[in-house]
Amino acid sequence: MTTKTELSYRASELRDLINKYNYQYYSIDKPEVTDSEYDRLFNELKQLELAAPELLTSDSPTQRVGGQALDKFSQITHALPMLSLDNVFDADEFKAFDQRVRDWINSTETQTYAAEPKLDGLAISIRYEQGLLVQAATRGDGAVGEDVTVNVRTIPTVPLKLLGDNIPNVVEIRGEIFIPKQGFDQLNQAQIAADKKPFVNPRNAAAGSLRQLDSKITASRPLAIYCYGIGEVIGITAPESHSAAMKQLEQWGCRISPELQLVKGVQGALDYITYLGKKRDSLPYDIDGVVFKVDNVALQQRLGFVARAPRWAIAHKFPAQEEMTVVEDIEIQVGRTGALTPVARLRPVFVGGVTVSNATLHNEDEIRRKDVRVGDTVIVRRAGDVIPEVVQIVPSKRPDNSIEFVMPSLCPICESDVERVDGEAKARCSGGLYCGAQRKEAIKHFASRKALDIDGLGDKIVEQLVDAELIKDAADLFHLTVSQLASLERMGEKSAENLVNALQMAKQTKFARFLYALGIREVGEATARSLASYFLTLDALKQANEEALIDIEDVGPIVAHHIVTFFEQAHNREVIERLISAGISWPKEQKLESSSELNGKTLVLTGTLEKLSRSEAKEKLLALGAKVAGSVSKKTDFVVAGRDAGSKLTKAETLGITVVDETTLIAWLN
């Protein structure tokens, strides 16, 4: 028979084990047990607690799922106030901060600063007594915050019990709670699928999730924490530097930023800002700047604080990724495949480091959901290389006379009917190549870099040529004369000659490029390559039916259908014939059964290659049956990192993808 003490001992053992595995899995991403082992232990503990409720303790990992809903949050006075940070926006302002620090402590020495990303989330103070989480409070006004203990207990990266030794009687751990970008995207997809309003940005989602009266909702949200400091601490000797405090936090099982570094003086700080600025877009969470802190705690104490902000710390802000502006107009763009995209023309605004005057409104459903109207004041977001988008309107600033936007039922360019296929988000112009917009886009695509790569044939020139009715389709390009081209506005005789030569040159191409250039729906570069190496000749491809096409890697039923439909159209067949008779040709494709280990693998090249040019490397890899992708994802098999590799390398490391150097690549290629 098992005694009560034995059961209680086992429960305690299970709690500690599960809390440790939890830490390994969520906080440091180094799981040491399988999911099934974890689940088994978890269930064992749950059963024990069910059978003997007195075994249930506050640090039990079974209690992370949330509990009874609250009526309201009660107030909590922080034992030590929660400080905010003063901001600087450029190098001069940072220099001034450093000077103020040194003046105050009367030092000419180079200061050591602890540097870390400034997360865009919400500040939290978590109180541990005897190592057990007893209370968690939001920042509030810095002195008094809200009691969100039950909610914070659901966050997997927050320890319910501190690990290791040197556990103080009391410690308040300060940190930032946030939702990683990926979790945010998933959360919003789920919100939309459930017909609920998506969140505007990860920060709002984190705030909304943490301030739920029903902690079960909080438990279902992908919240995480990075800790950045210690408030009150009783019962141990407080660490002598910020960096030592952070190491201590780490040893207690608290997550701290992996980007935390010590830097020396102004130059070190500025270098760190540059470093993190480059990395900003590839980090898995939103940041809005860098935090610098005087590392030495004795100096921090001498510096003290003014109002709510310490003199010993500063936030260097990055350019905001969201700004407000006004929608001056909403226009419809017609894409190559007829897709209609509503675009907001904006009063120019500086956001994410550039001036933005257009933002996509994506499609009909999006514009309706956000109810964006001409005249509205809106929040525009531009993060990384993504197209700027309208996040939301500011309802209080809507003018009285505004009218709801309706998608046109006729194409604004060619007046053909607009169709919307069930299940597709985009409305489309049904005009096909009758539509001037679609023709322009088709020709631009034909000339683009990854297609026929016609040097000097930019978008503007294509538009002029179509508008002047000098060309109707891609085949017409090859009959243009120097004098016709020179008749265009802003086109000199010399440029016209160059363009005619470039057209001549572009006639020698590759089968895959030609296929890609045709602009068949859903046939991208990779699919075009698969088609080329499978069918070898244009005639073979033209005769393929959907069944034959689906056999090819990369080709699903939808693409197969688009391909067959494309070649069925008399117009398309005619343009292809005219292209061929104008002299477009390519070397005969060789059937190659690659036996290379790289066959079918996806690689990403990043950084500077020294012995091989990037295009050379790519060509050789393709010849071996490998794919070369532009960005790192879970599907990437290898990342080849050259000199000064940056964000792609970081991403590969985050995703645990094998990274090789150039020497290894060359060995593989030979």
Report the catalytic residues: 118
Which of the stretches 37-45, 81-89, 571-579, 615-623 binds ligand JCF when contact is defined by CB under 6 A? Answer: 81-89
For ligand JCF, the closer of residues 152 and 339 by Cβ is 152
CB of 317: closest distance to ligand JCF in angstroms? 11
CB of 292 to ligand JCF, least distance (A): 9
By beta-carbon proximity to ligand JCF, the closer residue of 307 and 406 is 307
Q: Which residue's structure tokens are 């080709």?
A: 555
Write the Ramachandran bin of 29: left for phi over 0, alpha for psi from -120 to 50, otherwise beta. Answer: left
Instruction: Enumerate helices (H) and strands (E) in the chain, giving the number of each.
Output: 24, 24
Tokens of 169: 């009687």
81 or 458: whose CB is closer to ligand JCF? 81
- Could you give phi then psi for residue 268, rounded to 5 degrees? -60, -40
502 to 170, 225, 267, 452, 456: CA distances (angstroms): 75, 56, 48, 10, 7
Number of residues that bind ligand JCF (CB under 6 A): 13
Among residues 133, 173, 269, 313, the one that binds ligand JCF under rule CB under 6 A:
313
What residues numbered 147-186 form the site for ligand JCF, per CB under 6 A?
Answer: 176
- CA torsion 191→197→201→207, rounded to 10°? -90
Burial grade of 379 (CB within 10 A; 0-12, 13-18, 19 or more): middle
In whole angstroms, the minimum distance from the beta carbon of 256 to ligand JCF comes to: 10
What residues from 426 to 485 belong to the interface with ligand JCF (CB under 6 A)?
Answer: none
What are φ and ψ of residue 123, in 5° steps? -75, 145
Report whether 106 contacts 112 (CB < 8 A): no
Q: Which two tokens stand for residue 303?
A: 């510096």
- What is the number of the residue whose Cβ is closest to ligand JCF? 228
Name which of 176 and 441 has its Cβ closer to ligand JCF.
176
Task: Give Cβ neighbours of residue 291 (< 8 Å, ≥ 6 apart).
Answer: 85, 115, 116, 117, 118, 228, 313, 314, 315, 316
Q: Which is nearer to ligand JCF, 66 or 229 (CB)?
A: 229
Min. distance of Cβ 85 from ligand JCF in angstroms? 5
Distance CA 528, CA 622 (A): 13
By CB under 6 A, is residue 645 in contact with ligand JCF? no
In the complex, least distance from residue 228 CB atom to ligand JCF, rounded to whole angstroms:
3
Q: Which of these segments, 78-86, 203-211, 539-547, 647-655, binds ligand JCF (CB under 6 A)? A: 78-86
**Among residues 48, 85, 414, 641, the one that binds ligand JCF under rule CB under 6 A:** 85
Minimum CB–partner distance for residue 334 and ligand JCF (Å): 43
Cα first-last separation, the chain: 68
Stretch that binds ligand JCF, among 111-119, 202-210, 358-366, 609-617 (CB under 6 A): 111-119
Confirm or reject binding of residue 576 to ligand JCF (CB under 6 A). no
Please identify, using beta-carbon distances, which residue of 249 and 461 lies nearer to ligand JCF: 249
User: Which one among 61, 183, 222, 229 touches ligand JCF, defined by CB under 6 A?
Assistant: 229
Please report whether residue 280 would count as binding ligand JCF according to CB under 6 A.
no
* Of residues 119 and 609, the one with the C-beta less far from ligand JCF: 119
- Figure out which of the listed residues 118, 221, 439, 648 binds ligand JCF, where binding follows CB under 6 A: 118
Cβ burial, residue 206 (10 Å; 0-12/13-18/19+)? buried
Q: Which of 18, 45, 76, 83 binds ligand JCF (CB under 6 A)?
A: 83
- Tokens 């939001």, residue? 138
Which tokens in the block code for residue 388? 């700027």
Q: Give the span between the Cα atoms of 101 and 556, in whole angstroms.
A: 63
Overall size of the chain counted in residues = 670
CA quadruple 13, 19, 25, 27: dihedral sign: negative
Interface residue with ligand JCF, options 119, 171, 339, 604 (CB under 6 A): 119
> Which residues form the interface with ligand JCF (CB under 6 A)?
83-85, 116, 118-119, 123, 176, 228-229, 291, 310, 313
